[in-house]
Structure 1
Amino acid sequence: MLALLPNAAQAAQSYPDPQTITGQQIIHDPTVVKLKDGRYVAYSTGGIIGARLSSNRVDWSDEGNAFATPPSWWYEYNATGDPWAPDISYRDGRYWLYYAVSSWGTNHSAIGVATSDSGLPGTWTDHGKVFSSETGDSWNAIDPGIVRAGGRLWMSFGSYWTGIRMVELDPRTGKAITGATVHHLATRPDAPYAVEGPAVVKHGRHYYLLASYDACCSGVNSTYKIRVGRSTSVTGPYVDKDGKALLDGGGSLLLAGHGRFVGTGGESVFQDKGRDVLAYHYYDAEDNGTPKLGLNELSWGKDGWPAVS
Structure 2
Amino acid sequence: MGSILRRKLLLRLISVIVLVTLISTVPVQAAFWNLTGDVGTHDPALIKEGNLWWSPYTGKGLAMKYSTDGKTWQNGVQIFESELPWWRSYAPGMGSNDVWAPDIEYYNGRYYMYYCVSEFGKNNSAIGLTSCSSILSGDWRDDGMVISSKNGTNSYNALDPNLVIDTNGSPWLVFGSWFDGLHIVELNKTTMKPNGTIYSIAIKSGGIEAGSIIYKDGYYYLFASIGVCCQGVNSTYKIIYGRSKSITGPFVDKNGTSMTNGGGTILDSGNSRWKGPGGQDVYKNGNNYIIARHAYDAENNGNPTLLISDLYFSNGWPAY
Deviation at 1:137, TM superposition (A): 1.3
How many angstroms apart in 2 are the aligned matches of 1:129 and 1:287?
37
* Equivalent residue number for residue 169 of structure 1: 187
SS of residue in 2 equivalent to 1:270: strand
SS of residue in 1 equivalent to 2:59: coil
Deviation at 1:121, TM superposition (A): 7.8
- Percentage of identical aligned residues: 39
Stretches of structure 1 lacking an aligned partner (at least 5 in a row):
1-14
Confirm or deny that 1:138 pairs with 2:155.
Answer: yes
Do the aligned residues in 2 keep the contact of 1:51 with 1:121 (CA within 8 Å)? no
Do the aligned residues in 2 keep the contact of 1:264 with 1:283 (CA within 8 Å)? yes
Stretches of structure 2 lacking an aligned partner (at least 5 in a row):
1-28
Deviation at 1:257, TM superposition (A): 1.0
* Equivalent residue number for residue 83 of structure 2: 70
Question: Residue 106 of structure 2 aligns to which amino acid in structure 1?
Answer: Y
Question: Residue 141 of structure 2 aligns to which amino acid in structure 1?
Answer: T
Confirm or deny that 1:227 pairs with 2:240.
Answer: yes
Question: Residue 95 of structure 1 aligns to which amino acid in structure 2?
Answer: Y
TM-score, structure 2 as length reference: 0.87
Higher relative contact order (CA 8 A, sep 6+): 1
Trace 1:1-309 onto structure 2 (pairs within 5 A).
18-35=32-49, 37-76=50-89, 77=91, 78=94, 80-120=96-136, 122-135=138-151, 136-149=153-166, 150-177=168-195, 180-188=196-204, 190=205, 193-301=206-314, 303-308=315-320
Q: Which has more helix, going by share of residues?
A: 2
* Equivalent residue number for residue 5 of structure 1: none
Do the aligned residues in 2 keep the contact of 1:63 with 1:121 (CA within 8 Å)? no
Aligned pairs, how many? Answer: 287
Q: Please give the root-mean-square deviation of Cα atoms over the aligned residues, in Å.
A: 1.5
CA offsets per residue over residues 62-98 of structure 1, 9 Å max, x none? Answer: 1131222221111221252321000000011110000
SS of residue in 1 equivalent to 2:46: strand
Deviation at 1:104, TM superposition (A): 0.4
SS of residue in 2 equivalent to 1:182: strand
Question: Residue 316 of structure 2 aligns to which amino acid in structure 1?
Answer: G
CA offsets per residue over residues 234-289 of structure 1, 9 Å max, x none? Answer: 00001000001111111001111112011000000112232111010000000000
How many angstroms apart in 1 are the aligned matches of 2:31 and 2:285?
19
User: Greater CA radius of gyration, 1 or 2?
Assistant: 2
SS of residue in 2 equivalent to 1:131: strand
TM-score, structure 1 as length reference: 0.90
Deviation at 1:122, TM superposition (A): 4.4
Change (3 A) 1:70 1:123: farther
CA offsets per residue over residues 25-68 of structure 1, 9 Å max, x none? Answer: 10100001001x31000000011111111000111011131222
How many angstroms apart in 1 are the aligned matches of 2:95 and 2:183?
26
Q: Which moved more, 1:119-128 or 1:263-272?
A: 119-128
How many angstroms apart in 2 are the aligned matches of 1:276 and 1:127?
29
